[in-house]
Amino acid sequence: MGRIRLAAVVAAASLVVAGCAGADGSSGGNGALKIGAWYPLSGPVAASGVPSEAGARAYFDWLNDNGGINGRKVDFTSVDTAFDPQQTLQAARQLVQRDGVQAIVTANGTAATEATFPFVIQQSKVPIFGTYGGSSAWYDPPQDGLFGTQALYEDQARVAVQWALDEGAKHIVIVRDDPEAFATVDDAATATIEAGGGTADRVVAKFGSTDYGPYVSAVKNKHPDAVFLILPVPEAAAYLNEAALQGLDAPVYAYAPPATGALVELAGKNAEGFRAVSLTLPPTADDPAVAEYREAMKKYAPEQEPDFYSIANFAWAKAFAEIVKTISGEVNSESITKAIESASDVETGIAPPFSFTDGHLGTHSVMRVEVKNGEFVPVGDFVSP
């Protein structure tokens, strides 16, 4: 399924195989490999958490029905956090102390996940792999036991605004929400625009706004060649709908979060021509690995339409499994961590290849996508800033 080059020390490792899951978080023989994750399955950002959980679970269910990992089944436990850091820490304690997971895989939320670092990766030595979200500070310098599979938001911004520059834009207006987390993405976009000979301006919206009339009016008054959105799905759709009402036809680019079918549903015909970057191939792509994803979703998560959230987490779960398959001997938190650290060119057929030998962030690459005839289609291959 994948192509992985691993350091010889991992391939040659010979560890004692335990017969079943142990109190020390180990799992050998045919005992189930216990992994866990947390997601906002309720609350204001459940629209990302629910499909993310469904994608990861669909992959692990598919994997179990196809032999598991070297004959070992995967026991995947997910916990709702409502996107609250304190609830996430409680979920982490439940997963590590009560459920005995050997790894956290495809968790969701930047601030929420960061709240667990002291307990999970520092105290308990349980690796965290493939969080949806993340900060550049997580990986510079690398933290023991923390591994990313998502190009940082700053990387996404650089690729998106460079796309606008390449298409002739000179004056780009950035529309973002007011929390500080969005400001750092704004900074990366601004630096890229200015380095490319353009000028950057901005309109800052209140987080959670539903009335985008005043914000679109402010953008229109700045006469942009292009607009770059750093907004969640509902607000990005609100911008597109209001821009259509006000006759603002400047092309719109965005980072990855709005690149999902929900955006097209909310904005309808006003989403046509919307450009964004994606962490994966579109869920409608014809590639065999994407077709496998759709079949798994149809069988194991029929209530969820394929989308960019579920396909990303499906891909990251797949990458994790491909790495764990290379472990010779006992599978536990320590051996999983060592295997990830030594993994490079991990192929899923859905996401860009992941390599962890030079750092704990597996990729900086994204794919440019555009809405055509009501669905996102790829524009070229994966690119890095």
Nearest residue to 91 (alpha-carbon basis) of 108, 74, 69: 108
Residue 30, pLDDT score: 57
The total domain count for the chain is: 2
Domain range for 71: 5-151+285-354
pLDDT (0 to 100) of residue 47: 85
Question: What's the CA gap between 109 and 102, in Å, rounded?
Answer: 20
Q: Which residues pair with 227 in a beta bridge?
A: 173, 252
Contacts of 372-378 with C-beta under 8 Å, sequence gap 24+, read: 372/272, 372/273, 373/272, 374/264, 374/271, 374/272, 375/261, 375/264, 375/282, 375/284, 376/259, 376/261, 376/264, 376/276, 376/278, 376/282, 376/284, 376/308, 377/282, 377/284, 378/278, 378/281, 378/282, 378/285
Q: Where are the beta strands (DSSP E) in the chain?
A: 5-6, 26-27, 33-39, 74-80, 103-105, 128-129, 146-147, 171-177, 199-205, 226-230, 252-254, 275-278, 331-332, 343-344, 366-372, 375-383
Residues 18 and 119 in one domain: yes
Of 127, 152, 148, the closest CA to residue 319 belongs to 148
The candidate with the shortest Cα–Cα distance to 171, out of 220, 130, 214, 211, is 220
User: How is residue 259 written in tokens?
Assistant: 């690149």
Residues whose CB falls within 8 Å of the CB of residue 65, separated by 6 or more in sequence, listed in order: none
Check which CATH number belongs to the domain holding 227 and give it. Answer: 3.40.50.2300
pLDDT computed for residue 27 by the predictor: 46
Query: Residues 143, 171: one domain?
Result: no
User: Does the residue 362 lie in any domain?
Assistant: no
Mark whether 33 and 55 lie in a shared domain: yes
User: Is 198 a domain residue?
Assistant: yes
The CB density around residue 207, as the number of other CB atoms within 10 Å, is 15
Which residue is listed with tokens 């990729």?
Answer: 363
Would you say 175 and 231 are in contact if contact means Cβ atoms under 8 Å apart? yes
Query: Which residues does 331 contact at the CB level (< 8 Å), separation at least 6?
Result: 26, 27, 28, 33, 69, 72, 102, 324
Give the H or E element holding residue 95: none
In a domain, 360, yes or no: no
Between 46-65 and 233-246, two packed helices, what is the crossing angle to 10 degrees?
130
Nearest 5°: the CA angle 122, 123, 124 is: 105
> Are residue 103 and residue 9 in the same domain, yes or no?
yes
35 and 99 assigned to the same domain? yes
In a domain, 363, yes or no: no
Q: Are residues 12 and 144 in the same domain?
A: yes
Cβ atoms of 113 and 131 closer than 8 Å: yes
| 372 shares a domain with 232 | yes
273 and 168 part of one domain: yes
What is the Cβ-side half-sphere exposure of residue 278, based on CA atoms within 13 angstroms? 33
- What pLDDT digit, counting tens, does each position of 121-141 carry? 999 999 999 999 888 899 999
Asked if the structure places residue 201 within a domain, the reply is yes
Q: What is the pLDDT of residue 100?
A: 98
pLDDT at 6: 38
Q: Does residue 167 belong to any structural domain of this protein?
A: yes
Q: Within this chain, do residues 274 and 342 fall inside the same structural domain, yes or no?
A: no
| DSSP conformational letter for 259 | -
Whether residue 359 lies inside any domain: the answer is no
Does 246 lie in the same domain as 165?
yes
**What pTM value is reported for the model?**
0.87
Mean pLDDT per 10-residue segment, the chain (385 residues):
40 33 45 96 89 97 97 97 95 98 96 96 98 91 96 96 98 95 94 98 95 98 98 95 98 95 94 98 94 98 94 98 96 98 97 95 97 94 95
Q: In Å, what is the CA distance from 373 to each residue of 199, 212, 263, 280? A: 32, 25, 14, 20
Query: What are the tokens at 89?
Result: 């820490």
Same domain, 297 and 266: no
Q: Are residues 18 and 83 in the same domain?
A: yes
Residue 265 located in a structural domain = yes
d(CA 1, CA 336): 19
Neighbours of 19 (CB within 10 A): 10
